[in-house]
Homo-oligomer: A and B are copies of this chain.
Amino acid sequence: MTTDLTAHPPVTGPPTLDEVAVLAGVSRATVSRVVNESPKVSPEAREAVQAAIAQLRYVPNRMARSLVTRRTDTIALVLSEPNSQVFSDPFFASIVHGVSAALAETDLTLVLLTARDAREQQKIARYARQGHVDGVVLMSLHSEDLLPDILSDAGVPLVLCGRPYDGRSVAYVDADNQGGAQVATEHLIGLGRARVAVLTGPMDMIAGVDRHAGWLRATTDAGRRPDPALVAHGDFTEAGGEAAMARLLDQAPDLDAVFVASDPMAVGALRALRAAGRRVPEDVAVVGFDDADVARVCDPPLTTVAQPLDVMTTELVELLGRQIDGRAAPAETRTCPTRLVRRASA
């Protein structure tokens, strides 16, 4: 007597495709077609399979599927940033929100990975190379970030959120930071302000550099000599903005306007200005950057540069999608226009 190889083994794990096939009285191939919504299935077969799936509470094993399709249907949003407080940056939160919203239409899943140090970066690189994800959106790069190199070397589809610091050839989506900063500064100058200061972000981030460059451009375009005393560097946080504003008031007590490179910093700056007894906008006009929620509710409401976050996140996933499908031009880039939002602070 031989063993019956078609007999059900003792039910061990979750149900498999074959068990569904047996129950539905069809072949594995047919079940697979139903699961993948192939049109080439008769209504009866489809119905039988669906009933069996429901009865068994069958869930396809994605690992097995990935093994053959080479797709995982998940993309990673990697936050490469030593400073854990980035979480609290509303810009970051908005990007996460936007990307996951853009993905909601698709059946892709978003996983968030954070890399605080080189070791965690390696771990993430390994994770990506091992085929856990179809692609990566990488954000918040400082100049010395290793991940872009590792990932693109490994052939992992990759789109940066923000222009890379060096001129490397890689796909990215960015806001027109320089243009926005320039418009903001021009607005301040147009208001008749004589001493327009700038409170920059970290200069090892391209957004910090670009926004500073915009201020510089507007300043020189207006025929003014850029005064080093009108420049202070912050770190994109509220506390950093407050401190930098205090320094700025110290360096240049006669300033009558300031372009602040992020809204959280601007909120801090507002506080420092109030502490120093300066009225906004009467004594000092303030323009922020980001159009974060806080810009609407702070006192006074902040004139600020809005980035088209929805456009940017949509572009981000579209670019990545094209790369994953292999139908992307190499190193495609998008620079999205910004827009000045006028409120009370300038």
Contact = CB atoms under 8 A, between A and B. Distances in A.
A85 interface: yes
Given A63-B131, A67-B67, A93 B97 contact: no
A213 B67 CA distance: 52
Contacts of A127: 74, 109
A152 interface: no
Contacts of A100: 114, 116, 120
Given A88-B90, A100-B120, A74 B114 contact: no
Chain multiplicity (copies): 2
A142 interface: no
A62 B131 contact: yes
Interface in A277-318: 293, 297
A70 interface: yes
A42 interface: no
A84 interface: yes
Nearest to A79: B112
A8 interface: no
Interface of A: 13-14, 59-64, 66-67, 70, 72, 74, 76, 84-85, 87-88, 90, 92-93, 96-97, 100, 104, 109-114, 116, 119-120, 123-124, 126-127, 129-132, 154-155, 239, 293, 297
Given A84-B97, A87-B96, 17 more contacts: A13-B70, A14-B155, A59-B126, A59-B130, A61-B67, A64-B67, A67-B67, A76-B111, A84-B96, A85-B93, A85-B293, A87-B93, A88-B90, A88-B93, A100-B120, A109-B113, A111-B113
